[in-house]
Amino acid sequence: MDYALENARVFVSGSFMELNIGIADGKIAQLGKLPIDAPEKIDCKKRIIIPGCIDAHVHFRVPGLEHKEDWNSGSRAALAGGITTVLDMPNTKPATTTVQLLEEKRKLVQKDSLCNFGFHFGTTTENIAELENAANENIASFKVFMGSSTGNMLIEDEAILRKIFQIAKAHNKIVSVHAEDETIIKQNSEQHKNENSASAHTKIRNSECEKAAIEKALALHRETDNKLHICHVSSADGLEKIIAEKRAGSLTCEATLHHLFLNDADYEKLGNFAKMNPSLKSRQDNNALLHGIFDGTIDIIATDHAPHTREEKQKDYLEAPSGVPGVETMLPLMLNAANENKISIERVVELCSEMPAKIFGIKNKGAIEVGYDADLCIIDTKKEWSVKGDTLQTKCKWSPFEGMKLKGFVERTFVNGRLVYDDGNFDGSARGREVRFYG
């Protein structure tokens, strides 16, 4: 045995139990009330232990955009937030749209990441033939951008979209969709072309824009019966379309922290620091998303961690890029919501750990069971702290939640049985592993 975690409340099979955990060879080797003999013993002082969180939607900016984030800074931020595995999106520079580029990216990440990782594969109007090769690779999903975003991966041609869905179905792969309708975005952009403030963003990328794209994705999903995952749902209208179609297993969706806890009233305070795609919507949309968490429509919480520098964000609205950082604040924000009785901690674990592992088929993660990887997070649910951008690990050093007081704090994070984060200190020699996906 390598570690014994003692005197803790451990999340096992849907509830918290007073147990000790024995860790050996990177795995959970023992669970029980009896003392465990190990050279390293940690008294958890009645803290809770949950499975490490899995963030299925991050942009760690490698290769090509390392001035915004890299895998050392991004993985440190993840670990400080209790996230032990991240799934990285393909719109880097160059975008991850060929098997060769995927392999090159894999080598870069293996060299620098302190947390575990996996990759989504990018789709374009030009790489349909490459998808057959990529389907045999270890990837989380095919990522489709139905609305313009960072990079040049927009797909508007319905025939190409249909072919992507068909290839995914044939190879039992998930299609993950950024659902915003580009035609509506262009029409709204023309209508509001003289508005040069962040508040115009919701008018341009409105609920109608999201709803139309979700309708299109759902129509293709019905036609092909593929696995479809809708990323960062932001509106009541979009969620309503998903509710009408949802069938167990084949259709899933995610919500982000900024769409849950920020809204269009925050543009006045945050300006471009609240500019992201999809845009912030209304307080009513916040409430609809929270209800979607309660009733099970929303399957997972993800961050869409997409950092940019302060200088980039301080440009005029039309020039400033979209996106906000989030990995370090995801779990703390959810713990704070639990402390405010808006959600149970048990549901937080389901949304942030269990369901991402199930949806993307990540073996031996997302739960605390004997034989599972010892990806663990030790949490002080009572500690209060404030979000301060300049103390965050992310390279951009800012947060849209700046100044927010939160209750719930990540003390320690284990990755593959190794204590990698310990109350502000990192084991810089640790390296995460690429996760394996099983359909």
Quick: pLDDT tens for 44-53: 999 999 999 9
In the chain, the number of structural domains is 1
pLDDT digits (tens, 9 = 90+) for 354-369: 999 999 999 999 999 9
pLDDT digits (tens, 9 = 90+) for 147-188: 776 667 899 999 999 999 999 999 999 999 999 999 999 999
DSSP state for residue 274 in the 8-state scheme: G
Distance spanning both ends of the chain, measured CA to CA: 32
Which residue from 196, 198, 194, 237 is spatially nearest to 214, judged by alpha carbons?
Answer: 237
pLDDT digits (tens, 9 = 90+) for 213-229: 999 999 999 999 999 99
Q: Which residue has the tokens 């998303």?
A: 289
Answer yes or no: is 106 within a domain. yes
Give the domain CATH number at 73: 3.20.20.140
Position 248 confidence tier, pLDDT thresholds 50, 70, 90: low
Distance CA 185, CA 267 (A): 19
Distance CA 84, CA 220 (A): 33
Pick the catalytic residue from 237, 285, 304, 375.
304
Residue 342 structure tokens? 């808006």
Residue 172: give the domain boundaries: 52-360
Residue 35 Cα distances to 20, 38, 185, 407, 412, angstroms: 7, 10, 60, 31, 21
Residue 421 Cα distances to 113, 156, 257, angstroms: 13, 43, 23
pLDDT at 253: 98
pLDDT, the chain, mean: 96
pLDDT at 153: 85
The beta-strand segments (E) located in 25-167 are 27-32, 40-43, 48-51, 53-58, 83-88, 116-119, 121-122, 142-145
Answer yes or no: is 22 within a domain. no
Answer yes or no: is 369 within a domain. no
Distance CA 411, CA 325 (A): 20
List phi, psi (to 5°) of 409.
Answer: -140, 135
Answer yes or no: is 238 within a domain. yes
pLDDT at 246: 85
Please state which of the ranges 28-37, 135-144, 242-251 shows the lowest mean pLDDT.
242-251
The reply to whether omega before 400 is within 30° of 0 (cis) is no
Answer yes or no: is 132 within a domain. yes
Reduce the DSSP state of residue 117 to 3 states and report it: strand
- Whole-structure pTM value: 0.97
Answer yes or no: is 2 within a domain. no
Answer yes or no: is 202 within a domain. yes
pLDDT at 385: 98
Count CB neighbours of 340 within 10 A. Answer: 9
Residue 120 has pLDDT above 90, yes or no: yes
The tally of CA atoms less than 13 A away on the side-chain side of residue 192 is 20
Answer yes or no: is 261 within a domain. yes
CB of 366 within 8 A of CB of 9?
Answer: no
Distance CA 84, CA 161 (A): 33
Is 299 annotated in the active site?
A: no
